[in-house]
Amino acid sequence: MRTSWRASAKKHNFSAARGRQASRVMVTGTPRHTPRALLVLLLTYGSASLFHHVHNAEFLAEYPNMPTWLSPAQVYAAWFGVTLVGAVGYLLVRRGSQLAGLLVIAGYAALGFDGLGHYGLAPLSAHTVTMNLTIWLEVATALLLWVAVASFLAKQIRQRHW
């Protein structure tokens, strides 16, 4: 159940009003506080990554110069393994290990750049529009997540809240 900012402020003995001007007070020092943007970006990147891996697995034979030993099941397993890294990072953040969690999530985001490896096997022009779309969507959302995590890390370091 979500708690309103007023209930949260009251619970933690914060006053939301100063004179006639009211300001919103959010509890940010609690271990379970996680910026909503982080969760949104994690889910966005996770979805883009799933989209790319599903397309890669289902059209594996059509991706240029992919290793013949690679199976669709291995592609799905790779997505699961990568996603597990992100989930562990998020749980660490939620449980109060801000620094460790953000570093793990940064690693998770960095794994999203691995899709660019397709272009090491064959040039951009050898891939279909959909292949390129799934690759670049995964990379772009990974970059957004990585930049956000770097920003959260910088804020944590400045405030020394870990």
| Residue 25 predicted with pLDDT over 50 | no
The residue among 45, 48, 55, 91 whose CA lies nearest residue 76 is 55
Residues 25 and 43 in one domain: no
Verify that 144 and 117 share a domain, yes or no: yes
CB-based contacts of 26: which residues, under 8 Å, 6+ apart? 5, 8, 33
Both 18 and 75 in one domain: the answer is no
Q: Count structural domains, the chain.
A: 2
pLDDT (mean) for 46-57: 96
What domain range includes position 17?
1-30
What confidence tens digit (pLDDT) does each residue in 113-130 have? 999 999 999 999 999 999
- Residue 17 carries which DSSP code? E
- Contact between 74 and 140 under an 8 Å Cβ cutoff? The reply is no
Residues 6+ apart with CB under 8 A from 138: 45, 48, 49, 51, 52, 112, 115
pLDDT at 12: 47
